[in-house]
Amino acid sequence: MTLFGEGYGPKIQKGGNYRPDMSLRLFDVWIEDDKNRLGGWWLEPEDVADVAGKLGISTVPYWDEMTLEEIVEIVKEGTPSEVSKREAGTEGYLIEGAVARTKPLMFTRRGLRVMWKIKTRDFAS
CATH code: domain of residue 74: 3.30.470
Domain count, the chain: 1
Q: How confident is the model at residue 93 (pLDDT cuts 50, 70, 90)?
A: confident
Tell me the percentage of the chain whose pLDDT exceeds 90. Answer: 47
Q: How many C-beta neighbours within 10 Å does residue 37 have?
A: 5
pLDDT of 91 higher than 90: no
- Report in angstroms the alpha-carbon separations of 58 from 8, 40, 46, 54, 111: 12, 24, 12, 10, 28
**Pick the residue with more confidence: 38 or 90?**
90
Q: What would the pLDDT profile of 23-37 be if each residue is shown by its tens digit?
A: 899 999 999 987 867
**pLDDT class of 87 with cuts at 50, 70, 90:** confident
At 89 the pLDDT is 74
Q: Which domain holds residue 37?
A: 2-123
Task: State the number of CA atoms in the 13 A half-sphere of 66 facing the CB.
Answer: 14
